[in-house]
Amino acid sequence: MDDDFITIDGSLGEGGGSILRLSAGFSFLFNKPIKIINIRANRPKPGLRLQHLLGLKLLSELTGSTLSHCEVGTKELTFFPGNEIFKDNIDVRVSTAASIGLLVQPIQIASLRILKPPQVKINIEGGGTFGKWAPSLNYLKHVTYPIFKKMGVEFQVNIKKYGFYPKGNGLTELCLFPGRNKLKPILLTELGSIDQIKGEIILANLLKKTKPKIGEKIRNSIKNNLRKYINTDVDIIYKWVYSTSPGVGLSLWALTDSGALISTGTILGERHIPSQKLGIFSSEELMKYINNDIPVDEYLSDQLIPLMAYAKGSSKIKVKEVTSHTITNLELIRKFSGREFKIQQFNKGYTIEYL
């Protein structure tokens, strides 16, 4: 029986949750059952965490797949992929501040196989719209999903309520539009000229009484620091939002004449970091890509590589560095797709190509 499975060692590389998310999404995408062992074996709390469990159950319910009995702490599981997405509307309840951006990653991958229904709506009650080491929904909305659309796959995210750690309590509507176009390869190896830099600073209203000027201070710090490096239009907004936990989340991204969208990813404010330093840090993060002619940031590359492996034809992107996390993902995806990839180093960055 085990011969029918692709067996995945969950302690591979960094041994994190991305192994679970990618494996489950690709299991459905390529219609190959999987067995995952040693789940997060090297982590302080090994086994499934609640956010991983919720993501697996969501994928299973949405696609009619069979997931073995799982609970928090489970170290081994099996997943038999179903044949189709047979629900066009599904509700999910997240009782923690688990990242919604990570929760939906397996769905993003799995949906590439689906031709109908024309729209799938996922209503997520709870969870974090911002979180450490995870793409915020703002980042997905302004960077990831516009690039996905260039490849022929469409997702829309509507943030109805923002959620910060520790309570979460976000409210999100995610819409998938399966089967609209054939997935196209992508070429992002040149940054091009910067047309405009945009940004969004989200501030929980719980901070308004004690820090009424924080948004303005962060924005001014970003603009002042960027002026030292680049002469282009900078449009940064800040807005106060209702949230049950205090928090600050921001992203900067640059629009280019090559079609690239380069970004800082998600940056979180913390108590010990003054507004001015947060602004300087975020602008420096953006400039490290611009100064090195890098068109794909490290957060976007994680999102793009699964699509590149599935798209027919050659895809190629240029990144600043190839981390052990990236290598783990590439090797894992090869188990399903059988496709070879090539990494080439340059003076300023690396290219990753699917042949």
d(CA 301, CA 328): 13
Is 69 an active-site residue? no
Tokens of 155: 């997702």
- Distance CA(291)–CA(284), nearest Å, equals 10
CA trace torsion 330, 334, 338, 342 (10° rounding):
20
Q: Which of 52, 69, 272, 325 is catalytic?
A: 325
Enter the tokens of residue 217.
């201070």
Do residues 228 and 234 make contact, with C-beta atoms less than 8 angstroms apart? Answer: no
Which are the contacts of 25, defined by CB distance < 8 A and separation ≥ 6?
59, 105, 106, 107, 108, 109, 110, 306
Cα–Cα distances in angstroms (integers) from residue 213 to residues 162, 193, 205, in the given order: 20, 33, 12
Q: Number of helices (H) and strands (E), helices first, in the chain?
A: 10, 17
CB neighbour list of residue 80: distance below 8 Å, 6 or more residues apart: 33, 65, 66, 67
> What is the set of active-site residues?
325
